[in-house]
Amino acid sequence: MLKVGYLAPVNPEVDRMAWSGTYYNTYHAIKSAGVDVKWIPYGSQGILFKGLTKFTSLVYKISYGKGSSTHSRMMSKIHELFINQKLVNSVDLLFVPGQIEMVVGLKTNKPIIYYTDGTFSKMINYYWFGFSSKAIKEGNLMEKLAVEKAKYNFRASDWAAKSTIEDYKANTQNTYVFPFGADVPDKINKARLPDYEHNGLKLLFSGKEWDRKGGDIAVAAANYLNSIGIRCKLYIVGMKSLPDKLKDKDFIKFIGYIDKNDPSEYKRYLDLYHECNAFILPTRAECAGLVFAEANAFGMPIFATETGGVTSYVLNDKNGYTLPLSAKGVDFGKCIERVYKNKEFKRLSNGSRDVYLNLTSWKAWSRHFKDFIERDFLSNDEK
């Protein structure tokens, strides 16, 4: 049986929270593909590891200024010291989700899969601002080294895969798109259709960062819908507090922050997807967005922005619509108005479930990984 070494700072077999559950879900998706998976830790819980990491981050800041110490050769060399080389040598294939410094630092001839949702060049002035020129140069070098060292580059969106190929000259044939999946139960209640009889509509907005997620645009869209006679309620979840200027808006239902580790709160979170009719997220910057996969799982039409990796999760006229970054709240409102008046919610809902089952579920991820192993990895290995 093929042995895959899974490199992670936490135990991916049991830790459901790290990297929004990506470690946990990819580990189990690989295992479900019928291969033997071994966790390869590197001492992230140790005092020496933490101490050296902290010291290296300080040295990096002095040397490079503002930047990402993870994207540096000095951090790569430090973290590599804690790798269990015996475990690395015992497997046939290495899977490294994120952790660019580990990809670069690994001392091995084993083929590596490097899986991430963005590239360094695309993050600059998108998620990360004010980095020094020296830090940017080092970060781009690290990305190039990681892409070249990895036998296979897995990306969570077409956007990230395109950057990997165009900006870092990755081999097109060995670059793959593996969208993130939704970590939801197998049995769920689909999102409800709008209350056409009483002209009602419930929109769901989920996000911790109000400005980056386009919160004001979502509010403006709901306000427009109400102004034309569609009784729209905007449910807001994820934030700890609502901006003061919105507290007197009667069409807003503020849910607040929900702890998904608490079973009762998690159920409440899932119930929101069932209660609402559509998902709106006019995000300003997004590498992937697990919430889109969740919305797809519930058969929920999605209205989002054409930016970053969003279009790998929201397919125009299939499971929703993406609007340009320049779109205002009224533009989102008019798009939703058209869908509402044409009664397209059922069609888009079916489209969302189809996208989920075939593209943005962890079961789909596992199927695609199994295909990759049988079609590409094992066939290449036999040549």
d(CA 182, CA 291): 8
Give pLDDT tens digits along the chain (383 positions): 899 999 999 999 998 888 888 999 999 999 999 999 999 998 766 899 999 999 999 999 999 999 999 999 999 999 999 999 999 999 999 999 999 999 999 999 999 999 999 999 999 999 999 999 999 999 999 999 999 999 999 999 999 999 999 999 999 999 999 999 998 998 999 999 999 999 999 999 999 999 999 999 999 999 999 999 999 999 999 999 999 999 899 999 999 999 877 889 989 999 999 999 999 999 999 999 899 999 999 999 999 999 999 999 999 999 999 999 999 999 999 999 999 999 999 999 999 999 999 999 999 999 999 999 999 887 765 44
Kindly report each contact of residues 239-247 with a partner whose C-beta sits within 8 Å and lies 24 or more positions away, as own/partner. Answer: 239/207, 239/208, 239/210, 243/210, 243/215, 246/219
Q: Domains in the chain, start-ordered, CATH in brackets?
A: 3-181+362-382 (3.40.50.2000), 196-358 (3.40.50.2000)
Q: For residue 94, what pLDDT is reported?
A: 98
Q: Where do we find the tokens 């479900």?
A: 32
Q: For residue 380, what pLDDT is reported?
A: 67
Q: For residue 383, what pLDDT is reported?
A: 45
Beta bridge partners of 37: 4
d(CA 147, CA 62): 27
d(CA 2, CA 139): 33
d(CA 201, CA 303): 14
Residue 49: C-alpha distances to residues 59, 118, 137 (Å): 15, 26, 26
- What residues contact residue 314 under an 8 Å CB cut-off, 6+ apart? 292, 302, 304, 320, 321, 322
**Are 282 and 315 within 8 A, CB to CB?**
no
